[in-house]
Amino acid sequence: NTVIDGITEYVNPTPNIITQNQYTGRIDWEKGEKTRIFGRFTYFDDYSFKTGLAPIAGEQNPYGSINPVISWVQTLSPNAVNNLTVSYTRGHWADARATNGIGNISQELGLINTSDNPGGPAVNVTGYSVASSGYSSVVDLENNFQFKNDFSMTKGRHDLKFGVQINNRRAHYNNDAYGKGLLSFQDVYTAACPLGNAACTAAMHTAGLTAGGLAFADYMLGAAGEARLQKQGAIYNASGMYYGGYAQDSWRVFSRLTLNLGLRYDYWTPWLNIRGMAVRWDSSTGNVVYALANPLDYLNPTTGFGRNAPLNPGESRAGYTTGKKDFAPRAGLAYLLTPSTTVRSGVGIYFDGNANLNQFSSVQSGAGPFGLALDNVVAGNEQLPPILASEQFPAPPPTAIAAPSTTHPISVRVIGSGYYPTPTVYQWTFSVQHRPGADWVIEATYLGTHSIRSNQFVDRFRPYQPVGARANVHIQQRRQFPGWGSVQTWANLGWARYNAVTTSIKTPRWRGLTLMSWIAFSRDSQWLARY
């Protein structure tokens, strides 16, 4: 604790309590001369709770996993070995606001249509810390089943490897992030001039006045710069499959040259919500499209709560499809240029279809009636506050099915398109290794990568800035589709490049010491497309 200007201040008074347990068991069984069975079981559990200075503040983070695995290695012949692995992982994690007897604060404040869970709204005031609950309450439980088989054999100058892998991933995702509401306050309505009002700004400067404004004053007025509410309806239950296979040949062409040739195939199925809760954005019409012909069937027991409900013509039950042509060739070589110099090079394509579950689940079923999402953001050029804390949060339409409205435009989180290609990485490398003396080793390596189609979280229709001809235009009229608020989604728009050169020197041992030195130069660039 300390005293500043005669006022007692509390420095880091909030404890963070962590409880952690881990158990591991392992067995190795030499069943026979050619058979070995390996087994392992791991249990891990962690719980942390961080209190806050204010009574309703705090955060809890439990997470853990159970993981049994069995591997069977069978020697089939002097030149052939097979390895079969079966495993299961049951993992859980949570990121949640503190719920230690604080009650329903949002309801007590008069905020309507918020979650019935404990806690209050998250309140952000620029430059200040005010008493509020955390915005998040997320609980994720996943069951992952994996089957993998690898077969290797040597035939003449060829070392051959073949393998297959099948994964089944099942997710139980309960997301109440922003379910209690979020209110943000900036120095907007207590500033001297609205944003973009050139005449007011010029007069202010002429009078020698400053911009003024105080976020805490906006907070006291109840004039919010942002009001957000996101409520999940039915708990998100989905499953996805992965199928992979590969073939590889390490070919010793002659004593100085070895070639490595391989081909892999990957396929990740879309996340399939068992109740058919999926909605995507149609950029050609500026509207949302549901997988279910009647989105309310997800509540209808006669349709198995959406499981057996009819779909809209041409729509998939998941609301989107993924790439099915993900063939990934790889090639490499190692060449002994001189008895002291080796040259190595390689090139390959790699795919990553493991979509970010906690974000993708919210866009797959993030629009009504599956969930309620209200996201109002002011531009700062309005003469009067359009968002007042006392008026939050308005009720959804009678059916809660998302639709455009010129009077009450809503914000949605939806699938960005009906097709998601798999994020792809191209990689190439070249290195030279030279031994100038008996023990000295000098190596120089170049590595380059180029990734495309990486997922980026974007607002597809952010309004144009209130400048120029749009200086006094209402925020909704500055959107491409005025009947909608923000349209948030994951989109395959990002790409990145990475290039690096690394040199290393390794000296001989001297009195038990070995000197190793590395020098690296790298350049990294990323890019995100704008709608």
pLDDT of 530 > 60? The answer is no
pLDDT-derived band at 64 (thresholds 50, 70, 90) equals very high
And the tokens for 183?
Answer: 């209110």
pLDDT per residue as tens digits for the range 295-324? 999 989 999 999 999 999 999 999 999 989
Q: What is the mean pLDDT of residues 175-191?
A: 85
Residue 294's pLDDT is 93
Instruction: Give the H or E element holding residue 221.
Output: helix 215-221
pLDDT score at 1? 58
Q: Are 120 and 102 in contact (CB under 8 A)?
A: yes
Q: In a 3-state reduction of DSSP, which class is residue 447? A: strand
Instruction: Tell whether the model's pLDDT for residue 126 goes beyond 70.
Output: yes
> What whole-number distance in Å separates Cα of residue 16 and Cα of residue 31?
48
| Backbone φ/ψ region at 127: left (φ over 0), alpha (ψ -120 to 50), beta | left
What lies within 8 Å, CB to CB, of 56 at 6+ separation is 98, 102, 105, 119, 120, 131, 132, 133
What's residue 16's pLDDT?
81
Give me the pLDDT at residue 510, please. 62
Quote the tokens at residue 103. 């009650």
The least confident of 25-39, 427-441, 468-482 is 468-482
pLDDT tens-digit readout, 490-507: 888 888 999 999 998 887
Beta carbons of 527 and 493 less than 8 angstroms apart: no
Q: Are 216 and 125 in contact (CB under 8 A)?
A: yes
Are 188 and 225 contacting, i.e. CB atoms less than 8 angstroms apart?
yes
Mean pLDDT over each residue of the chain, to the nearest integer:
86
Task: Give the mean pLDDT of 151-170.
Answer: 96
Of the candidates 319, 232, 237, the residue with the CA atom closest to the CA atom of residue 280: 319
- Which residues, in sequence order, are CB contacts of 289 under 8 Å at separation 6+? 279, 280, 281, 282, 312, 315
pLDDT of residue 526: 67
Residue 8 has pLDDT above 80, yes or no: no
Can you tell me the mean pLDDT for 406-422? Answer: 84
Distances (CA, A) of 104 to 94, 118, 459: 20, 5, 31
Residue 210 phi/psi, 5-degree rounding, is -90, 170
* pLDDT at 53 exceeding the cut of 90: no
CA atoms within 13 A on the CB side of 369: 17
pLDDT (tens digit, 9 = 90+) per residue, 200-233?
888 888 888 777 788 899 999 999 888 888 777 7
- Quote the percentage of the chain above a pLDDT of 70: 93
Identify the pLDDT of residue 41: 97
Name the band, by pLDDT with cuts 50, 70 and 90, for residue 528: low
Task: Outline where 310-456 has alpha helix (H).
Answer: 357-364
Q: 92-129 burial by CB neighbour count: b if 16+ within 10 A, else e?
A: bbbbbbbeeebebbbeebebeebbebbbbbbbbbbeee
Q: What is the mean pLDDT of residues 447-457?
A: 91
Cβ atoms < 10 Å from Cβ of 19 = 10
* Range 111-127 average pLDDT: 87
pLDDT at 448: 95
Q: What is the mean pLDDT of residues 262-282?
A: 93
Residue 174, phi then psi, degrees to nearest 5:
-110, 110
Q: Which amino acid is at 487?
A: V
Name the nearest CA neighbour of 344 among 233, 259, 456, 232.
259
